[in-house]
Structure 1
Amino acid sequence: VRNCGQEVTYDGAPSKVVTNDTGITEMMFALGLADRMAGYVIAGDNKGTDVSTSPWKADFERLPKLAEKINKEVVQGAGADMVFAGWGYGFSESTGFTPDVLEEQGIATYLLTETCRNGVGKQRGVMPPLEALYTDLRNLGAIFGVSARAEELIAGYQRQVAGAEELVRG
């Protein structure tokens, strides 16, 4: 798949993914991939957070919350074969937790498209937000062999957006 402007190849579908952030984790759940996860990392105690009101609350409760801050040790401790995070959503040069560091340890990464750097310093954003969401769903669908589910989700979201635009137009 193409991720942040680079062609990335995965050796089969990952089976022990660690995610960082509620929205990233929910993307995996929406695609039906909870069984491919080792756990998730989210700041806070989950009470009164987006997790408690998430449509995927049961998935959050079933999987282990690994930590409140992602780092190399958390990922290694979970036996992760892939980390799904983003720049500013876990990955950071200042903490030393980067895709390159994980790659050196044989751990694959997938970067949230909305956090891809656009080539101007460390600025993020290479496409409009909804296009970034659809790109991530398609890429994850390809990586995990659930492309049909990804396309169903995208079509549903596109219908919702079209409906909202219609309401705005009156």
Structure 2
Amino acid sequence: MTLSTRQHIKHASLVITGLMFCVLQTNALQAAESHYPVQIQSCDRTVIFNQAPKAAIPNDSNLTEMMLALRLQDHMVGFTGVSGWKTLDAELRKDIGELPELSPKYPTKEVLLGANADFYFAGWNYGMRVGGGVTPDTLAPLGIKVYELTESCIHIMDKPKVSMNDMYNDLLNLGRIFNVEERANNLVNDYKRELDAFQENLAPLAQPVSVFVYDSGEEQPFTAGRHAMPTALIEAAGGKNIVDDVRKSWIQIGWESVIDRAPEVILIVNYGEVTAQQKIDFLRNNTAFSDIPAVKNNRFVVLEYVEATPGPRNIEAIKRLAKAFRAE
């Protein structure tokens, strides 16, 4: 074979490889385009996406972790609402890479516009307030689509009691919005299998352990009601929230209710300037609480904020609660 012939063959091979690459790229592009438009149910709204968002901003650590769990960093321009209340822990910092925190607390419209955002993943009291300046209605004219955290929908509409399906629903909807459905389905199925396998091997309890969720507050405790994520975590671990009958999400109640309902375990949510240990010390050192079984028997379990709110760390949180509920 002459040198000239070999060169012709090599050239032809490169041409064929290039054509195959172009065909694959075209097929991938056509597949992505055929996925849209998609209709997504977000609380009481139907939101239509004609393409995957390119400049997404999630608010709060747990919502940010949902997007990171789906490996959506390339679609994000930053995040908001973490350092104003809690630290950016090592796991989140590692996965977030160079993406900036655009606002330490709830962002303004100007912050979102300044980042050229086209998508805001937030929730009611997770980056938006009813009647506030940043809502789906106020952002729509600016070309910013909003997807609302399912757990938070109770603030604007009736919905079933909170469950793990709320978190799964958000991951699956994000998968559809960003055209990573297979990735989202696999992740949710993995979570379900892991939780099912764990629960199958759990030692049964004679009856559900009664649990009080202590988020914050000394004059009046801020706690989780029937529609807040800790209720679902507690039930999955074999317990029962003592304010399960309160048809609210996160809410302030009176200490009298806590004392009267005599929780066997107190779940401390750790975040902010007041540490989990300081919250435990407050409960231990107040004589009014000395007869509460959880205080008397020193049965406290601590969850980080990002574990107690909907997100990828919920399964590990359930495992830790289950262990605490079965501890002597």
- Please tell me the residue identity of whatever aligns with 2:179: G
Indicate the residue corresponding to 1:7 in structure 2.
46
- Is residue 89 of structure 2 the alignment partner of residue 52 of structure 1? yes
Structure 1 residues 127 and 33: CA distance shift in structure 2, 3 A = farther
- Is residue 162 of structure 2 the alignment partner of residue 128 of structure 1? yes
- Is residue 100 of structure 2 the alignment partner of residue 61 of structure 1? no
- CA contact 2:55–2:119 (8 Å) conserved in 1: yes
Bigger mean CA deviation after superposition, 91-100 or 21-30: 91-100
C-alpha distance after superposition, 1:50-78 (max 9, x if no partner): x3232x43232321111112121110111
**Equivalent-residue separation in structure 1 for 2:76 and 2:192 (angstroms):** 27
The 5 A counterparts of 1:139-158 are 139-158=173-192
**Aligned partner (choices 62, 67, 74) of residue 23 of structure 1:** 62
Unaligned runs of 5+ in 1: none
**Aligned partner (choices 136, 139, 142) of residue 99 of structure 1:** 136
Task: Give RMSD over aligned pairs.
Answer: 2.1
- Is residue 193 of structure 2 the alignment partner of residue 159 of structure 1? yes
The 5 A counterparts of 1:27-42 are 27-42=66-81
**Aligned partner (choices 84, 87, 111) of residue 124 of structure 2:** 87
Indicate the residue corresponding to 2:226 in structure 1.
none
- CA contact 1:81–1:108 (8 Å) conserved in 2: yes
- CA contact 2:59–2:82 (8 Å) conserved in 1: no
**Equivalent-residue separation in structure 2 for 1:152 and 1:72 (angstroms):** 35
- Please tell me the residue identity of whatever aligns with 2:188: I
- Please tell me the residue identity of whatever aligns with 2:137: D
Structure 1 residues 87 and 167: CA distance shift in structure 2, 3 A = same
Structure 1 residues 125 and 44: CA distance shift in structure 2, 3 A = farther
- Higher CA-based Rg: 2
Task: State the shift of 1:123 in Å.
Answer: 6.7
**Equivalent-residue separation in structure 2 for 1:100 and 1:63 (angstroms):** 27
Task: State the shift of 1:105 in Å.
Answer: 1.4
- CA contact 2:43–2:157 (8 Å) conserved in 1: no
Structure 1 residues 93 and 2: CA distance shift in structure 2, 3 A = closer
Q: State the structure with bigger RCO (CA 8 A, min sep 6), 1 or 2.
A: 1
Unaligned runs of 5+ in 2: 1-39, 205-328
- CA contact 1:87–1:111 (8 Å) conserved in 2: yes
Indicate the residue corresponding to 2:309 in structure 1.
none
**Equivalent-residue separation in structure 2 for 1:147 and 1:127 (angstroms):** 26
Structure 1 residues 106 and 143: CA distance shift in structure 2, 3 A = same
Taking structure 2 as the reference length, the TM-score comes to: 0.46
